[in-house]
Each structure stands twice: as C-alpha cells, then as structure tokens.
Amino acid sequence: DPLGPTVCVGEILVEIVATTVGDGFLKAQPLVGPFASGAPAIFISQCGRLGGKAAMVGAVGDDDFGRVNTDRLKRDGVDVSTISIDPDYPTGSAFVRYRKDGSRDFVYNIATSAAARFGWSQAVGDLINRSGHLHVMGSALSVPSAREVIDKAVDIVKARGGTLSVDPNIRKELKLDEDTERRFSKLVAAADLLLPSGEELERAAGVEGEAEAIRRLFEVGVKEIVLKRGAEGATYFGRGGDRIDAPAFVVQEVDPTGAGDCFGGAYLTCRRLGMSPQQALTYASAAGARNVTVLGPMEGAGTQQELDAFIASTERHP
Ligand code: ATP
Ligand code: MG
C-alpha cells in the first residue's frame, strides 16, 4: 500500500482464563494462560495474519507477559517497534472466568499497568507520519495516554489522505464525561469505517432505532458501516443505501472473546487490499467465527490460507 501501514493504538494485555465455568476467583482453581490479548492487539494481529501491513502502538512491561505479546505480534507480521517496554510497570492482565449464564467475572490490572503508560514519542510520530490507516477503539478514549496519541494521530493520518476505522466498543448504558463524549462523537463522525456491535450502533449515533441510527451516522459523515451481530451474522451499510447481509458460519463456540476484533481486523484489511464489501464481509465473518472455535482471545485468528480453507469447509446459517 503506497499510503503505508494500518496502525492500531491501545491496550496490550495477557488474558488468563479459568478452565471451569462458575463464579469468580475466590477459590484456588485451574487456569490456562497467559494468552496474548487486548482488543486493539487482537485487531492488529488479525490484520498482520491476513498479510496487511500493520503496526501497533502501546506498551508492555519488561516481563514474560510482555514478551508473550510482542513475540506473538511479531510472528503475525506486525511491526512492534512502537510497542514501548515500561521499566517500572508490569504488563497489563485480565483474569477471566465464564459464569453459567455466559456472563463473565474479571480481575483486571490495566489502569495501573504498562498498558496505560505510553504516549507520543519520536518513534510513534515517525510511524504515524508514514501510516495509511488508523484503527481506534472507543474504549481507549478513557485512557489518558492513549487519548493523546489518538487525537494527534487522527489529524495527521487524515491530513495525509489516510483513513480511519472506529469500533465504538462502548456499552449503551455507559455515560462518558462531557469532554470524552465530545471526543467520541468527533471520532465517530470522522470514521471512514464504523464497526459497531449490537446496541453500540445506537450508542454511537445517539439515536434509537437501527434505520434511524444508520441515517444519522451517514449524515454526520461516516462513510461505511458494518454492524456485528454475533452468531446472527453481520450487515454492511453503504452511503448509497446499499445493504449486504452476511449470515454467520456454523461453528462450535469455545471462547467468544475476540470475535469482533478479528472480524474488524479482517474486514478492514480486505478492504485496504482492494476487495469489495461483499468479499471483505465473507473473510471477516470467517475470521470472527474461526476465532471463537479456539481457546484464547486471538489464538484462532487466521491467515488468508486458513480462512479460505475454513470458508470452503464450513456451512453458513440460513
Ligand atoms: P467482542 O467484543 O466479544 O470481540 P463483538 O460483539 O464486537 O465481539 P460479535 O458480533 O460477537 O462482535 O462477533 C463479530 C462477528 O464474528 C459476527 O458478526 C459473526 O460474523 C462472527 N461470530 C461471532 N460469534 C460467532 C458465533 N458464535 N458463530 C459464528 N460466527 C460468530
Ligand atoms: Mg465489540
């Protein structure tokens, strides 16, 4: 790509998963991990695996949890030179246990970990000045260090003719403070591609109703919207009023974490590689579905070859 790599800015974590279903961590129990994780890291891993030029901005600690992440992303073909190594703080982590009803208990260490301690630097500036696309997670706006990098990066990437994708990733009930809400709205309006999931669509639009939300988002300037609906599939909406529904692939769900991020990373990468929305939707749906069949947030992210094999061998929901 003449315009340069896709860049993702945000938290890098390890995830450690309880192997039994139940409530929380009050008793000693079997765990599995560490797995490389963090929504932005999952997204960029899928970009790299699909053969898109990709780079990550964030931070890890000087520890094995950090190396799990940087080694993994390097193997995926992601440029990790702008992942800084914090000498004082450990790599971010999340312990996760699924409850019977599918909801989850978490023990997080993110806000006081290396994950939240990075900022603008010479190296980050050099990367952004040669990048062609920026991907932002709405949730990153609550992290002051990420916010500073994102603010600057959006302006630079847009000014040089690059594009922006946004996964709003903000729960419908979540009230942001006035300043963060304003930043969020500005980011949404600047998105060339918006990747909401379920009710995040209405949250991002600030209005009720799917059709009304889509109309409003195009009105404020969004160029392309892909709505994720889990096992119900996904829908592409174009500015011209065109719509493509993509049924989900039929899979055995082992670990739902990361589906949306793999889906988004695959969709964006396919579009940047010149594919049509239809073709990108097929790869994205395959990437999301394949990822839920494997334990670990990004362990099921596929290469183009793996996704082609998956598509050829997997049924779709009617
Ligand atoms: P998360 O935030 O948990 O990573 P998300 O809510 O952003 O996920 P989802 O809608 O859960 O995103 O998943 C994205 C896409 O992945 C779906 O639109 C679908 O194509 C595929 N997918 C997810 N879960 C399944 C599943 N159980 N079976 C088949 N496909 C799935
Ligand atoms: Mg999501």
Question: Per residue in 279-292, pLDDT tens?
Answer: 999 999 999 999 99
pLDDT, mean of residues 158-179: 89
Q: Which of 42, 263, 283, 315 to mutate to test the pocket of ligand 1 (most atoms within 8 A of CB)?
A: 263
Compute the distance from residue 134 Cα to the ligand 1 centre, in Å. Answer: 22
Report residue 62's pLDDT band, with 50, 70 and 90 as the boundaries.
very high
pLDDT, mean of residues 186-214: 96
Question: Per residue in 9-55, pLDDT tens?
Answer: 999 999 999 999 999 999 999 999 999 999 999 999 999 999 999 99
Q: Is the pLDDT of residue 276 over 80?
A: yes
- Reference 184, options 143, 141, 214, 151; nearest CA is 141
Nearest CA, atom 20, ligand 1: 285
Q: Give dist(CA 241, CA 185) in Å, integer.
A: 22
Higher pLDDT, residue 211 or 169: 211
Residue pair 92/13 in contact (Cβ under 8 Å)? The answer is: yes
Report residue 61's pLDDT band, with 50, 70 and 90 as the boundaries.
very high
pLDDT score at 1: 57
pLDDT score at 2: 64
Q: Which of 15, 194, 228, 315 to mutate to test the pocket of ligand 1 (most atoms within 8 A of CB)?
A: 228
Backbone dihedral angles phi then psi of residue 53, each to the nearest 5 degrees: -70, 130
Percent of the chain with pLDDT over 90: 91
The average confidence (pLDDT) of the chain is 95
Report residue 3's pLDDT band, with 50, 70 and 90 as the boundaries.
confident
According to DSSP, the residues that pair with 236 across neighbouring strands are: 226, 244
Report residue 263's pLDDT band, with 50, 70 and 90 as the boundaries.
very high
pLDDT score at 289: 98
The finding on whether 233 has its CB within 6 A of some atom of ligand 1 is yes
Q: Give dist(CA 98, CA 269) in Å, integer.
A: 31
pLDDT, mean of residues 139-167: 93
pTM above 0.95, yes or no: yes
Q: Is the pLDDT of residue 66 over 90?
A: yes
pLDDT score at 172: 75
The two three-digit tokens of residue 104, written as one number: 């989850």
Q: Return all residues near 220 (Cβ < 8 A) that are at least 6 apart.
A: 185, 188, 189
Compute the distance from residue 229 Cα to the ligand 2 centre, in Å. Answer: 10
- Full DSSP string of the chain: -TT--EEEES--EEEEEESS-SS-SSS---EEEEEEE-HHHHHHHHHHHTT--EEEEEEEESSHHHHHHHHHHHHTTEE-TTEEEESSSPPEEEEEEE-TTS-EEEEEE-TTSGGG-----HHHHHHHTT-SEEEEEGGGGGSHHHHHHHHHHHHHHHHTT-EEEEE----TTPPPPHHHHHHHHHHHHT-SEE--BTTHHHHHHTSSSHHHHHHHHHHHT--EEEEE-GGG-EEEEETTS-EEEEPPB----S--TTHHHHHHHHHHHHHHTT--HHHHHHHHHHHHHHHHTSSSTTTT---HHHHHHHHHH--B--
Residue pair 57/118 in contact (Cβ under 8 Å)? The answer is: yes
Percent of the chain with pLDDT over 70: 99
- Reference 193, options 216, 167, 211; nearest CA is 167
pLDDT, mean of residues 180-204: 95
The two three-digit tokens of residue 163, written as one number: 């594009």
Q: Is the pLDDT of residue 137 over 60?
A: yes
pLDDT score at 116: 93
Radius of gyration over alpha carbons of the chain, in Å? 18
- Ligand 1: atom nearest CA of 288 is 16
Compute the distance from residue 191 Cα to the ligand 2 centre, in Å. Answer: 16
pLDDT score at 130: 97
- Reference 17, options 228, 318, 259, 254; nearest CA is 254
Q: Is 207 exposed, middle or buried (0-12, 13-18, 19+ CB in 10 A)?
A: middle
- Overall size of the chain counted in residues: 318
pLDDT, mean of residues 240-253: 96
Q: Is the pLDDT of residue 307 over 60?
A: yes
Question: Per residue in 69-78, pLDDT tens?
Answer: 999 999 999 9
Lowest mean pLDDT among 30-34, 142-146, 221-225, 305-309: 142-146
The finding on whether 259 has its CB within 6 A of some atom of ligand 1 is yes
- Ligand 1: atom nearest CA of 253 is 27
CA angle 144, 149, 151 (to 5 degrees): 90
Q: Give dist(CA 110, CA 91) in Å, integer.
A: 8
Q: Give dist(CA 162, CA 190) in Å, integer.
A: 11
- Ligand 1: atom nearest CA of 287 is 16
Report residue 142's pLDDT band, with 50, 70 and 90 as the boundaries.
confident
